[in-house]
Structure 1
Amino acid sequence: MSCSCTSSSTNNTLQQDVMDKINNHPCYSEGAHQHYARIHLAVAPACNIQCNYCNRKFDCSNESRPGVTSSKLSPIDAVKKVLYVGGKIQQLSVVGIAGPGDALANPKKTFETFKLLQEKAPDLKLCLSTNGLRLPEFIDEIVKYNIDHVTVTINSVDETGEIGSKIYPWIHWKHKKVFGKQAAKILLKQQIEGIKMLTQKGILVKANSVLIPGVNDKEIANVAKKLKELNVFLHNIMPLLSKPEFGTYYGLNNQRSATDQEVMQAQEVCGMDIKLMAHCRQCRADAVGLIGEDKSNEYNNDIFKNKSWKELEDIYNIKAREQRHALIENWRKALDSANERVKIEQASKEQLSSNNKTKLIAVTSSSEGIINLHFGSATEFLIYEAGNKAIKFVMHRKVQNAYCKGPEDCDGSYPIEEIKQTLKDIDLLLTEKIGDCPQEELRKIDLITDDSYALEPIEKSVFEATKKHFFYEKEKEVN
């Protein structure tokens, strides 16, 4: 694996340094996201730009998307929360500040939090997310507090400001509001300058781009090319979420969300230029736990805020956390061996298949890289593209309701139609267990289901199942 934020003359030591930085970072490493947890701290409520896709909601527990949080925290309470959560969820490896506004529009709270984290939780990786408007101002502080992962949201590189003006109504710049194309031009200039400064300091940059149908969908490829020029490490293309109930400008004005297929198409185009993040879940500003799960509602402020630092340090227990991480790494090594390295990142169809034909495979998994979730409990599906030579991870797809709500909430309805719509282009579903009724429903969309790989490693199972269901006979004929 090469690092796009280093030159071609980079030696192996530096390459290993980069690998060490991302090894247990669930956002920067697809291989880590089923094993390590993250926490977002909602200490940054103010924002200095207005995005048409954003509506920052406080005291909100029923939505999972950026800008949403159940409560705002002071820096001290935020760090107390980290110590408490880190003791209860020992696989916690990363803490980030991602809102609910912008981390760098709240610099005092943001950097006070990071300062305390350095003192109290030195084993954690530190991250921040920003729109980039004030990024050049704070490079020295980012370096000072060892924040070696920074995410910048950049949705257009159109220097005329035409596209940006359709996304950002205004920015707050030098003590006044600036509107329209001029605002978009200023924002882009600051983003590019800030990203250059970060990569020159050796800080890994992830760029987020929101795919907005009819607005910047044709522009995303240009964004990817520019990000490559800027030595950005990772590009994350996220679908616009614009339901009316979200209360965003787009949601209230009939701008439709991006489809899974549109995201896949954008990934295919942009993947020619830059390494992609395909496993993003568009997390809340107070997200807790593994990517794909959110346990934020289990850790309300009353649990930790009145505890002393000594109590919390005992709960955090760095030595016990180190032991847990060592066990995780041993498991990952065993899993890599079991999977036989059949996965290729950002592979072409030619690399995946001898005849350029591939299949889309959905998997249900709760964590740890194995097929360990019943179909009835799944609210998301991991999607792989597979051929007879190799596989690659493509994306995750969420559904609002699992097929089975469980005995306590069961009302006799089984919401299969949303699942069928979500999996309409999928060829095969691998799951731990599935009943006859949902199997019959999924056959109506020509989706094959297979639960014979229960509790097996995902990647090896995807590869073997694809060959079994779609390539075996042809291979036998050739032989």
Structure 2
Amino acid sequence: MEENWTTEVREKTEKHPCYCDTAHKYARMHIPVAPKCNIQCNYCNRKYDCLNESRPGVTSEVLKPQEALEKYKLVKSKLSNLMVVGIAGPGDALANFEETKKSIELIKAYDPDVTFCLSTNGLMLPEYAEEISKMGVTHVTVTINAIDPKIAGEIYSKVYYKDKIYTDEEAGALLISKQLLGLKMLQELGIVCKVNMVMIKGLNDHHLEAVVKKIKDYGVYINNIMPLIPAEGSKFQNMKLISNGELNALRKKCSINLKQMYHCRQCRADAIGILAEDVSLDFRKGSCGNRLDIPEIQQEYIIAVASKTGRLIDQHFGHVQELLIYKYTSKGASFLEKRSVDQYCTGFDSCNDTETKTEKMLKVLADCNIVLCLRIGSVPRKNLEANSIHIIEVYEEIEKGILKAVNQLKCAS
């Protein structure tokens, strides 16, 4: 409960962008030092490196603690508003406890004022809660997708605990018991807790309201309900997507019991910057993956790019107010113009596609073959693909993203 917080923790919470919706001017840095995981979620594929995606569990590299310190020094020298260091994977922070602990110790010795937080599935929380507190971690996010062992058993295929593998309801029951006990311990230690939930259509979407009511009793400060992002190669890769309308309707229901987070970006494990602008590409060691050849093509492509910065493909299609239009020919890519569009999502309760918005968007994209965006909802995707517009979700520099898109279409043809 809030009465357990110190003045220092209250002040840190006010400057933590993931815990406070008015802290948007402050930057955070995720250090990817935790590659191992002790559970297997059916929505995760564990192939986390060299993926040009923006979702939890993805990173361009895994760092050793000393490397994390050196990168922190570099980022801090460039971003004066950096306030938070988080460990959010690409696996589980507590399944890699020694790496997590060493990284925090090194950075804390260099910068005692930084806020430390970590994300975990909660399996090892009861064993490490007290040590986490002694290390100076003030904020912890626990992902809890169910409090019913049967439902949990359908979300997690395996749970690895003390040299034993658990499956089905037994796995679900074990994980839930550890998560709730861990939350109780964190509350008693005065650590601020956020609970993340992945909303999965037809599986736990009807159950999450009960989860919220349960975790409220454990002193959770804020709840973050996120839509499933089906990872290619995972068991849930073909699961139906949750619409923004369904997501926000559930958030509204749950807000009666617990404060809801509406500003989550479902960030990468190596995200850097303010929530609205991930600048992690600026701090990567070289490029990820093989060099891209400039494809020889016979046809021309008109490509619409969703970009906040004008340099990166870094915007959700639903938040676009202006698209950057490029032409790709055998000579390469060239910028054509900017086109204004109506946002699909203009507020918490207005993120559903409508026929009018669809028609307007299709007029804007009438000559386009490809749309490049950070992410896109299921409804606009279907509408655009029905009109022979290829959708590619990618987090990359615009020029590289265009090359990848054209290569992808060339290989598919």
What TM-score range do you get, normalising by the shorter chain? 0.7 to 0.9
Between structures 1 and 2, the one with greater strand share: 2
Structure 2 residue 259 is the aligned partner of structure 1 residue 296: no
Alignment correspondent of 1:260: 244
Please say if residues 378 and 403 of structure 1, whose CA atoms lie closer than 8 Å, have aligned partners that are also in contact: no
Partner secondary structure for residue 183 of structure 1: helix
Q: Distance in 2 between matches of 1:173 and 1:139?
A: 17
- The corresponding residue for 2:10 is 19
Structure 1 residues 30-429: aligned runs within 5 Å = 30-33=21-24, 35-158=25-148, 161-242=149-230, 246-251=232-237, 254-301=238-285, 379-380=315-316, 397=318, 403-405=323-325, 409-410=333-334, 426=350
What do residues 47-101 of structure 1 show as CA deviations (whole Å, max 9, x unaligned)? 0000011123333251000010101100000011011101101111100111000
Compute the displacement of 1:405 (Å).
4.2
Secondary structure at the residue paired with 2:248? helix
Partner secondary structure for residue 103 of structure 2: helix
Letter in 1 for 2:17: P
Q: Distance in 2 between matches of 1:423 and 1:127?
A: 31
Look up the equivalent residue of 1:248 and give its one-letter code: S
Match of 2:369 in 1: none
Structure 2 distance, partners of 1:49, 1:259, is 27
Q: 1:378 to 1:180 in 2, by over 3 A?
A: closer
Sequence identity, in percent?
41
Task: Tell me which residue corresponds to 1:358.
Answer: none
- Structure 1 pair 72–209 and aligned structure 2 pair: CA distance change class (3 A): same
What secondary structure, in the 3-state scheme, does the structure 1 residue paired with 2:137 have?
Answer: coil
Q: Distance in 2 between matches of 1:51 and 1:183?
A: 11
Q: Do the aligned partners of residues 414 and 54 (structure 1) sit closer, same or farther apart at CA in structure 2, a change above 3 Å counting?
A: farther
> Aligned pair in 2 of structure 1 residues 84, 302: CA closer, same or farther (>3 Å)?
farther
Q: 1:420 to 1:6 in 2, by over 3 A?
A: closer
Deviation at 1:143, TM superposition (A): 1.1
SS in 1 for 2:236: helix
- The secondary structure found in structure 2 opposite 1:276 is coil
CA drift of 1:176 comes to 1.7
Deviation for aligned residue 1:174: 1.5
Distance of 1:398 and 1:167 partners within structure 2 = 30
Structure 1 gap segments, 5+ residues each: 304-363, 367-372, 382-396, 428-437, 446-479
Amino acid at match of 2:158: W
Shift of 1:292: 2.5
Deviation at 1:440, TM superposition (A): 9.4
Work out whether residues 34 and 87 of structure 2, in 8 Å CA contact, stay in contact via their aligned partners in 1.
yes
Question: Could you say which residue in structure 2 is the equivalent of 1:6?
Answer: 2
CA, structure 1 residues 378+152, in 2 after alignment: closer, same or farther (shift >3 Å)? Answer: closer
CA contact (8 A) 1:402 1:415 kept: yes
Matched residue of 2:190: which SS? coil
Count, aligned residues: 335
For residues 180-221 of structure 1, the C-alpha deviation after alignment (integer angstroms, 9 at most, x for no partner) is 000000000000000000010100000000000100001110
1:426-461 CA-partner distances (Å, limit 9, x unpaired): 49xxxxxxxxxx99936999xxxxxxxxxxxxxxxx
Instruction: Give the deviation of 1:16 after TM superposition.
Output: 5.2
Residue 106 of structure 1: SS of its match in structure 2? helix
Q: CA deviation at 1:144?
A: 1.2
Deviations 1:105-159 (A, max 9, x none): 001101011111110121210001000000111112211111000000001111x
Structure 2 counterpart of 1:441, from 342, 357, 360: 360
Q: What is the alpha-carbon distance in structure 2 between the residues aligned to residue 16 and residue 443 of structure 1?
A: 52
SS in structure 2 of the partner of residue 95 of structure 1:
strand
Deviation at 1:17, TM superposition (A): 4.9
Secondary structure (helix, strand or coil) at the match of 2:174 reads helix
What residue identity is the alignment partner of 1:48? N
Q: Tell me the equivalent position of 1:340.
A: none
- The alpha-carbon distance between structure 1 residues 82 and 17, as it changes in their structure 2 partners (threshold 3 A), is closer
Q: Which amino acid aligns with 1:24?
A: K
8 Å contact kept, 1:25–1:36:
yes
Q: Give the superposition deviation at 1:256.
A: 1.4
Distance 2:228 2:358 in 1: 31
Counterpart amino acid of residue 239 in structure 2: Q
* Structure 1 pair 15–145 and aligned structure 2 pair: CA distance change class (3 A): closer
What is the TM-score with the length of structure 1 in the denominator? Answer: 0.64
Q: CA deviation at 1:6?
A: 3.0
Q: Aligned-pair distance for 1:173? A: 1.2
Verify the 8 A CA contact 1:94 1:124 in the aligned structure 2.
yes
Letter in 1 for 2:229: L
Deviations 1:310-343 (A, max 9, x none): xxxxxxxxxxxxxxxxxxxxxxxxxxxxxxxxxx
Alpha-carbon spacing, 1:104–1:149, altered in 2? closer, same or farther (3 Å): same
Aligned partners of 2:35 and 2:307: how far apart in 1? 34
Q: Distance in 1 between matches of 2:319 and 2:63?
A: 29
Task: State whether residues 323 and 339 of structure 2, in contact with CA within 8 Å, keep that contact through their aligned partners in structure 1.
Answer: yes
Cα offset, 1:379, TM superposition? 2.4
C-alpha contact (below 8 Å) 1:129/1:150 kept by paired residues: yes
Distance 1:173 1:97 in 2: 21
Q: 2:252 is aligned with what amino acid?
A: E
Alignment match, 1:28: 19
User: How far apart are the structure 1 equivalents of 2:253 and 2:335?
Assistant: 44
8 Å CA contact 1:236, 1:277 repeated in 2: yes
